[in-house]
Amino acid sequence: MTTISAPVINRPSSTSVGTIVWLGSEVMFFAGLFAMYFSLRANSPEIWAHDTTILNVPFALVNTLILVASSFTAQFGVFAAERLQPRATGWSPVKWGVAEWFMLSYLLGAVFVAGQVWEYATLISEGVALNANSYGSAFYITTGFHALHVTGGLIAFLIVIGRTFAAKKYGHYEATSAIVVSYYWHFVDVVWIGLFLIVYVLK
């Protein structure tokens, strides 16, 4: 008698699904920040016309490219996670594992945050403070909340890197954690591109 085996149903990871749902709520959060920014700008065009001239756009562009580059390195870390390679098997980047690619992503993200801190200090010294006017409030609230999200991503990188060394056997559970963190990191990168265009390009 021939037995027919039941078909295997490949269901998405509950962690991945939960992360995507949570990121959907984050989209709404940043949409609210964008709406606030546009509302304040519409009510105070003269303040925007003056204060936006102080922005160091070339510096912000370089900082943006650094953050975008970190998204590519994070994706290479995902490729390593998908082949269940936690650490490097050689010096060449093509042999790097999750740990090395995520360390590089962490470094680039940290440079981005440091660049924002330097920019904040420069703007405050030139009179653009959080409580100075509506532009200062809009600028620091939108970019500041994003910086907090980037910092959260940096912490997540450290946790994933730690797991690559702590796990006795690097399996699908650890790989899923790396992939989920990459979802989050790509999200904050895309949000920053939108912020850069609105705050620094369209002004």
So where are the chain's domains? 14-202
* The predicted structure's pLDDT at residue 15: 67
> Which helix H or strand E contains 165, and what residues bound it?
helix 134-166
Return all residues near 60 (Cβ < 8 A) that are at least 6 apart. 119, 196, 200
* The predicted structure's pLDDT at residue 198: 94
Distances (CA, A) of 38 to 35, 64, 109, 112: 5, 21, 27, 25
Q: pLDDT tens string for the chain (203 positions)?
A: 454 544 433 455 676 677 778 778 888 899 999 999 999 999 999 999 999 999 999 999 999 999 999 999 999 999 999 999 999 888 888 899 999 999 999 999 999 999 999 999 999 999 999 988 999 999 999 999 999 999 999 999 999 999 999 988 888 888 999 999 999 999 999 999 999 999 999 86
pTM of the shown model: 0.88
* The predicted structure's pLDDT at residue 12: 58
Q: How far apart are CA 128 and CA 43, in angstroms?
A: 18
Report the candidate in 180, 182, 161 with the shortest Cα–Cα distance to residue 170: 161
Cβ atoms of residues 188 and 27 within 8 Å: no
* The predicted structure's pLDDT at residue 10: 47
* The predicted structure's pLDDT at residue 71: 97
* The predicted structure's pLDDT at residue 6: 40
Please provide residue 63's backbone torsions phi and psi, each rounded to the nearest 5 degrees.
-65, -35
Taking domain 14-202, whether its CATH number is 3.40.30.10 is answered by no
Longest dimension (CA), the chain: 84
